[in-house]
Amino acid sequence: DAKTTQPPSMDCAEGRAANLPCNHSTISGNEYVYWYRQIHSQGPQYIIHGLKNNETNEMASLIITEDRKSSTLILPHATLRDTAVYYCIALLYNTDKLIFGTGTRLQVFP
């Protein structure tokens, strides 16, 4: 699986957009990019995933660069409940396992 690199921590003001970057420069053409988040002492929660095109759901938007070497998760209007560790994972199509890194700790402040 491609290695992903994320900043260890970020801050965001409540109500503002949170933009979480992820580098995956070694990603191959059939590797999906997944985002999960983990609120303290809970199980990770799926947010969104994509392959080439930008994706949007009720939780977030995922912007993938044209060369697919990086992506950005956007939480359009961050709330205090969005404070969590966010994991970016590049997953090879049809592999058996999902490998998590250390993620980005997002702190949303009032």
Query: For the sheet containing 45-50, what is the strand order?
Result: 9-13, 104-109, 84-92, 31-38, 45-50
**76, two tokens:** 């359009």
* Residues 46-75 as x/- pattern, contact with other proteins by CB under 8 A: x--x--------------------------
31 phi and psi angles, rounded to 5 deg: -100, 125
The site for other proteins, by CB under 8 A, has a size of 23
Q: Is 96 in the site for other proteins (CB under 8 A)?
A: yes
Q: Is 94 in the site for other proteins (CB under 8 A)?
A: yes
Interface with other proteins by CB under 8 A: which range of 17-25, 55-63, 68-76, 96-104?
96-104
